[in-house]
Structure 1
Amino acid sequence: MFVPGTASRPPAGMMIPYTEQLIFTIATQIPFVIFFGMGIRNLISRGDPKALLFGIGGCLASAYEPIVDVMGFCYFPREGNWVAFEAFGRPIPIFVPATYGWYVGGMGYWFWTVLQNPKTTQQEFQLLWLRAFIINLVLEYPPIYLGIYIYYGYQPLEIGGFPLWFPAVHAASPMVAATVINLIAPHLKGVKNLVIIPASVMAYGMANAGFGAPVWLALSVDRGYHVSYPAAAITALMIYTGVWIMSLQLLPTQPLKINGMNGNGKSKGLRG
């Protein structure tokens, strides 16, 4: 399925090459196995299921991939595709769920552990977005070069076939997941830890729909770069604002003041 009313289409006759798909599939399974192995180890040795649950949530978040591809004008060819699942007429390769497992889930868990560290500063948390952005570049440039998938249409900020607004949005998704789990962490005891799974899934959907919506709309209009580039600027502003808002959770809290009294029952500004 392509966005109705648009003329932008990926090249006809494109296919995923066998050898390149095999190499990339194996490469993406390695961090997946490492992260899930760590999650199982944490569960067995410490009784801590959080890493494993983040990973499961990340895998399930791959259900959003067909929507993100349709709206973001990304295309996996059907020919030669080792299909894991299909929705909205978009066949999704088998390496996608595993990649989501360690990128969305694994990085969400990593960012959550950073938030749990009392020494983490607001600036350090903000820099996590840059790290996730760079990791996404390393992840996506090789398969684009190998011809496994392609971005099409009037993509803003495209360098080497990869529109940089895409990793900018993706880099924010584990931050959203980490923030949500950090806010509810005191309530996650026993079976309630299972909430991490749907929270991770929802965080990815919220990040993509929330931050990516301006570019999605611009691409669907299909009128040219004079529309898509301003939309990318709006998306960039929204990501900057979102990351800043999420970093506020690391600022020290101030005691509640009522009628000039602080939380200790003392009047501010009075001595002895």
Structure 2
Amino acid sequence: MVYQTMPDYMRVPLFDMPQDAQMWALYLFSALAVLTYLLAMYRCIAERSPNPLLYCLGGTVTCFLEPLLTRLLDATHAQNGQQLAYESLGQRVPWHAAISYTFYFGLAYLSLVPAFRERRYTARTIWLMLFGVTASAWIYEVPLIRVGLWSYFGDQPYQPFGLQPVYWSFASMAMLITPTALIARYEALLQGWSRIMIVALAPIGAIAGAAGACWPVWFALNSPYGHGVKVFAATLTILFALFIAWLAIPLVARQKQESPQALLLQAGA
């Protein structure tokens, strides 16, 4: 059988995995994942609920989105000498990257889902948190890229210092707030065995947030079109990420309280 030739913009360069850095990342991320599960089990006992453990399981299974994200982002984990966890879409995912989803999402869910469920934070506070997520997503990848564990390639727009493109930093905001808001709002409806669907809500929400924000830049990066199109698409991705956050925040933010003057006026009417 004859197959269509792969266009240049779909080709993935090969990189050598730094062995010492890979081993240290595996040790560190595994320790953080274990601590995340220990915290979840403690919370399960304290709250007499299995939900905290389900949050962590949801974060763990979200790792299966990684090949889709790397394929569409023009990014890759170093392949040569990689400790392979699994492979899909022609993308090889190492163990340390797969494990990282457990603490990356698990800790976020453990801290934010209860707060969002109870609407503890104002919209302003949540916006500040999300901009913190945007900045921390960029900072988190700096050492991974510098030591060669992870690389972006091709014609990437908004990529300061050759590190994480800024559009993906903003997309991380949408990728986190969407599943967190979904779980916070719907977990009360899931009782008994249906609680297991909390695990499914995590990857469903994460890919919904990522795809909703990133579809313009995913299209542009995986096309033969020029840099101007990619910059425009990346700008749309940043705007869409902010739009997704704007849609989600009212679902979990503290409701504004009426002022005493407004309540008196309503009573008089």
Q: TM-score, normalised by structure 2?
A: 0.87
Matched residue of 2:85: which SS?
strand
Q: Aligned residues: percent identity?
A: 21
Shift of 1:80: 0.7
Deviations 1:151-202 (A, max 9, x none): 0111111123221212221232221111111221321333332111000011
* C-alpha contact 2:113 2:184 (8 A) present in aligned 1: yes
Matched residues in 2 for 1:113 and 1:130: separation?
Answer: 20
Shift of 1:117: 3.8
2:148 — aligned with what?
A: 147
Structure 2 portions without partners, runs of 5+: 258-265
Q: How does 1:88-103 map to 2 (within 5 A)?
A: 88-103=89-104
Shift of 1:18: 0.6
Matched residues in 2 for 1:160 and 1:8: separation?
Answer: 23
* C-alpha contact 1:55 1:101 (8 A) present in aligned 2: yes
Partner of residue 252 from structure 1, selected from 244, 250, 255: 255
**Is 2:231 the partner of 1:229?**
yes
The residue type paired with residue 132 of structure 2 is R
Matched residue of 2:185: which SS?
helix
1:258 — aligned with what?
A: none
2:72 — aligned with what?
A: 71
Q: 1:135 to 1:113 in 2, by over 3 A?
A: farther
More off after superposition, 156-165 vs 112-121: 112-121
* C-alpha contact 2:173 2:241 (8 A) present in aligned 1: no
Deviations 1:65-105 (A, max 9, x none): 11111111111232110000001111100012221111123
The residue type paired with residue 250 of structure 2 is L
* C-alpha contact 1:76 1:150 (8 A) present in aligned 2: yes
2:183 — aligned with what?
A: 181
2:165 — aligned with what?
A: 163
Shift of 1:145: 0.4
* C-alpha contact 1:172 1:243 (8 A) present in aligned 2: yes
1:213 — aligned with what?
A: 215
* C-alpha contact 1:85 1:93 (8 A) present in aligned 2: yes
Matched residues in 1 for 2:172 and 2:119: separation?
Answer: 26
Matched residues in 1 for 2:21 and 2:218: separation?
Answer: 29
Shift of 1:33: 1.7
The residue type paired with residue 222 of structure 2 is S
The residue type paired with residue 25 of structure 1 is L
The residue type paired with residue 230 of structure 1 is F
2:130 — aligned with what?
A: 129
Matched residues in 1 for 2:194 and 2:175: separation?
Answer: 22
Deviations 1:203-244 (A, max 9, x none): 111111111111101101133321111111111111111111
More off after superposition, 84-93 vs 152-161: 152-161
Q: 1:58 to 1:156 in 2, by over 3 A?
A: same
Partner of residue 197 from structure 1, selected from 196, 199, 202: 199
Shift of 1:60: 0.8
* C-alpha contact 2:156 2:230 (8 A) present in aligned 1: yes
2:17 — aligned with what?
A: 16
More off after superposition, 94-103 vs 197-206: 94-103
1:262 — aligned with what?
A: none
The residue type paired with residue 43 of structure 1 is C
Matched residue of 1:109: which SS?
helix
Q: 1:189 to 1:173 in 2, by over 3 A?
A: same
2:58 — aligned with what?
A: 57
Matched residue of 1:120: which SS?
coil
Shift of 1:138: 3.0
* C-alpha contact 1:114 1:125 (8 A) present in aligned 2: no
Matched residue of 1:7: which SS?
helix
Matched residues in 2 for 1:170 and 1:97: separation?
Answer: 17
Would you tell me which structure has more helix in proportion to its own residues? 2
Deviations 1:100-156 (A, max 9, x none): 111123213322123134441011112221122233223211111011121011111
* C-alpha contact 1:105 1:200 (8 A) present in aligned 2: no
* C-alpha contact 2:44 2:50 (8 A) present in aligned 1: yes
Structure 1 portions without partners, runs of 5+: 255-267
Aligned Cα root-mean-square deviation (Å): 2.2
